[in-house]
Structures are given as C-alpha cells and as structure tokens.
Structure 1
Amino acid sequence: MTRDTIKALTFDTGGTVLDWHSGFRTAFEAAGARHGLALDGAALANELRHRSMAMMLNLGADGPPDRNFDQAHRACLDAVLSDHGLDMFDETDRHAIAWDAPHGFTAWPDVRQGLEALRQRFITVSFSLLSYRLVIDTARKNGLAWDAVLSCEGLGVYKLLPDAYRRAAQRLQLAPETCMMVACHPFDLDAAREVGFRTALVRRPREWGDDPEAKPGMPAPGTYDIEVDSFRELAERL
C-alpha cells in the first residue's frame, strides 16, 4: 500500500468518532436522578449498546431492513428498562435517552482537528450503521465536515454484510482497494478487508468506559495496514 493508492477514507462513526458511552451513561444517570434513583449508568449504557448493535449488524441479509438505528435504540431501551424494573421511566425519560443523548454525542477530542487534516488530501466519509439524522446532528454539534454520509440506512444493507462495503465504494465511484476503512472495531475492519478495502485501526480504549470486561479483545499488532491512537496520528501516517 502507498498513500497515493488511497482516494477515500470511510469512517465508522459510533465509537470511532463519537463517545457513545459517556452520552448514554450521563442520560441514564440523569433520568434516574429524576426518580430519586442512583443508577449504574455505565453498565446500563453498555447493555443498551450491546443490544442495539446486535439488532443492527448484518440487517438486510434476509430481506429489506425494517428499522434504522434510532428505532433500535428505542426498542432496546424499552427492553433494558423493563428487564431492570425501571418501568417508571416515562416518555420524557425514554426520549432523552434514546434520542436526545445519541443525537448529542460528543466526538473524541482528536477527531475534529484530525479529520480536517485528512480531508485536505482524501475524500472523508461517514460510513455508519447510524441513521442519517444521527450522523447529521452529531456532525453539526461537533463541527465535523464530512464530504459524504453513507448510512447503511440508505444503502439498504448493513455492515458487516459484504454488500454494504461494496455499495459504499460504488456510491463513491471508487474501487474498494482505493478506499480505507477507519474504525476502532476489528470486526468492521475485518469485514471491509474481505471485499478489498485497506484498513486503519484507531484505538479507543475508553469506548466502553472503565469496565475491563466490557472491552473487546484487540488483535495482535500489525494486523491492519495502519494502527494508531488518534485521528491526528492517522493524518501524520498518511
């Protein structure tokens, strides 16, 4: 791989760009406080994330998708609250957690500056399981300038299905080997590589908060084309 062969960088957005854990944790704790409850917001945030990811990954394999990620957040939140005996959470609480929180997620501190540097040389694209609206709202909040947003909501199939990556490259009118998937999730990078994408791992050790058991294992060093700790470092490497 040489830098000149890469034309576009396609970014996982939930986790790699956005700190979902802090957003959901704060929303759960705030809702609990309204009802006089001291909740483990971190654990509830991780449970909601696990459930919603499971609902969305590979969606479209058996027919047209019947939901987007916003709908998954709400359905999974309702299930989490029911399972934890939190049925006293009303519509205001549920909307605050399932909509207001994710649409207000904060980007990791290195993202804006690093993305601006990368955009000077490469097409920079949000390629995400997240809904169009969620990506738009968080981009506006964090001052992120994407050249394009390729939500799986519009592609008709969801990562990790190979067609999601192929369709993303097709929308950009590029061969997969001229695209680089940028993600903190090895499963996303592995799936992208299978269809020809180059790969860049951006480590996000605090994606799942402080619970060591919640953090997925990482592959051995050298597994991907580039492995860095920030978008600024990625810009330097490229």
Structure 2
Amino acid sequence: MSLSGIKALTFDTGGTVLDWHTGFREAFAEAGRRHEIDRDWGQVANRFRRLSMEMMLNLGSDGPPGYNFDEAHALSLETLLREEALEAFGDADRRRIAWQAPHRLSAWPDVRDGLAALRDRYIVASFTLLSYRLVIDTSRHNGLTWDAVLSCEGLGMYKLLPQAYQRAAKMLQLPPEACLMVACHPFDLDAAAQVGFRTALVRRPVEWGADASGQAPLPPPGTYDLEVGSFTELSEALT
C-alpha cells in the first residue's frame, strides 16, 4: 500500500515509546530489598502490566469510564500484592510502584531523536491509554515533544474500541487514512487498520524483558504497511 498522503503519526506510548518493564521491575525490586523479599521481579512486573492493561482495553464500551490508567495501576497493584502475598509492601512502597515508577519511565534510546526527525515532516501525537498526567511527566522526563497528546482519558473511549481511533483522527481534523498508527502491539495496529489508519509496527523485542516472557508472537512480515526496528528507522523509511 502506498504511504503517500500521510499527514500525522499517532504513537502508542506505553511500550512503544516507554520501557515500562525495566521501570516496574526496578520499583518492585527496590521494595523487595527494603523488606528482604526475593522474587523474580521481572515476572511480577509483567503480571502487574497484564492486570492493569486488562482494566484499560475497551474501557468505555459500557458507559463513561470511571477511572484512568493511574487509578488502574493503583487498583491492579492492590490485587497483585494480595495474590502474590506481598502485603508487607506499605503505603510508601505502593505509591512508588503505582505512581512514581510509571511517571518516571525511560523512553527507548531511539525515541527522542527519531521523534524529533519525524516531527520535522509530520504531526506527531501520543495516542494512548495512558493518562494525560502520565504522558506529560514521562515526556518531560525524557525530553520528548509532541504536537498533541490524544489520551483516551479525554476521548472518553479507550483503545481497542473503534470509536477511540475515529475520535483521535477527528481531533486531528484528518481522515483515518491520513494517519499512521505506530505501535509495537499488533492488537493496537489491527484495531486501527479496521477504521482505515495506515499502520507501522515498531519491533520492541525486550518490551516484556530479556526473555520476552509475555510477548505475543508477531504476525508474518507484510501484515502492516511498515515494519521497523526503531523510530530512526521509521523516519528513514518515510523520507
């Protein structure tokens, strides 16, 4: 498919832009050291991610959302600590994990320069399940500049609902086919394609840690309009 006519790039942010696994793993490990508890903290971080994502995907399908991603982190953490017998983690530990850690996540090394190069030629927007405050804080922390933040918190519909993608394109005053959805998650790209977005897969092989535990297998080559290994590679492909 031709990539001509693209005016805006809409970026998944948690995972595609931000290395959530390392941030959460280190936050859990720090709390574990304080309480002299030893676990496979990478696996704990992955379980925390799954629980919080389950709370967010398709939120809004049954009525106005009653919480945002920050609140989902806090609620998911309570469930996780109970099920993992980690009730020794106190209020300060819980705040560090559910609030401080995600708001200080590091971007992947290619993101800042690649995003800046793409912004020279396209509208670049964070289109994300994450809360506005989470995107603001992580963007400031990593020196990232967006033309727009399209948080599902403000759209009132969360991905993977088709209305979320339609509303994002409408906010940019563009038809869906003028938008390129950029994500490392096939489920996000598949949902975007269903409403007419063009799609670019960015491979993040260690998103779920070095052993790729929890990483879904990627679809065969050619499924999406572009497949790249970094934002800099994406910029070069769109030159």
Is the TM-score greater than 0.5? yes
Q: Identity percentage over the alignment?
A: 66
Q: CA RMSD in A?
A: 0.8
1:2 to partner: Cα distance: 4.0
- Supply the AA of the counterpart residue of 1:126: S
Q: 2: CA distance between counterparts of 1:194 and 1:156?
A: 19
Secondary structure (helix, strand or coil) at the match of 1:5 reads coil
Q: 2: CA distance between counterparts of 1:35 and 1:212?
A: 28
- After superposition, what is the alpha-carbon deviation per residue over 1:40-97, rounded to whole angstroms, capped at 9, x for unaligned? 2101100000010011000000100001000000100111000111111111000000
2:11 corresponds to? 11
- After superposition, what is the alpha-carbon deviation per residue over 1:139-173, rounded to whole angstroms, capped at 9, x for unaligned? 00000000000000000000000000000000000
1:37 to partner: Cα distance: 1.3
Q: 1: CA distance between counterparts of 2:212 and 2:73?
A: 24
Map 1:90-169 → 2, pairs under 5 A = 90-169=90-169
Q: 2: CA distance between counterparts of 1:77 and 1:180?
A: 33
1:48 corresponds to? 48
The reply to whether residue 66 of structure 1 matches residue 66 of structure 2 is yes
1:210 to partner: Cα distance: 2.3
Q: 2: CA distance between counterparts of 1:193 and 1:88?
A: 45
The reply to whether residue 82 of structure 1 matches residue 79 of structure 2 is no
Map 1:199-238 → 2, pairs under 5 A = 199-238=199-238
Secondary structure (helix, strand or coil) at the match of 1:215 reads coil
Unpaired runs of 5+ residues, structure 2, are none
1:31 corresponds to? 31
Unpaired runs of 5+ residues, structure 1, are none
1:215 to partner: Cα distance: 1.3
Normalising by structure 1, report the TM-score: 0.98
- Supply the AA of the counterpart residue of 1:235: S
Normalising by structure 2, report the TM-score: 0.98
Q: 2: CA distance between counterparts of 1:151 and 1:143?
A: 19
Contact 1:128 1:152 in 2 (8 A): yes
1:213 to partner: Cα distance: 3.9
Contact 1:28 1:39 in 2 (8 A): no
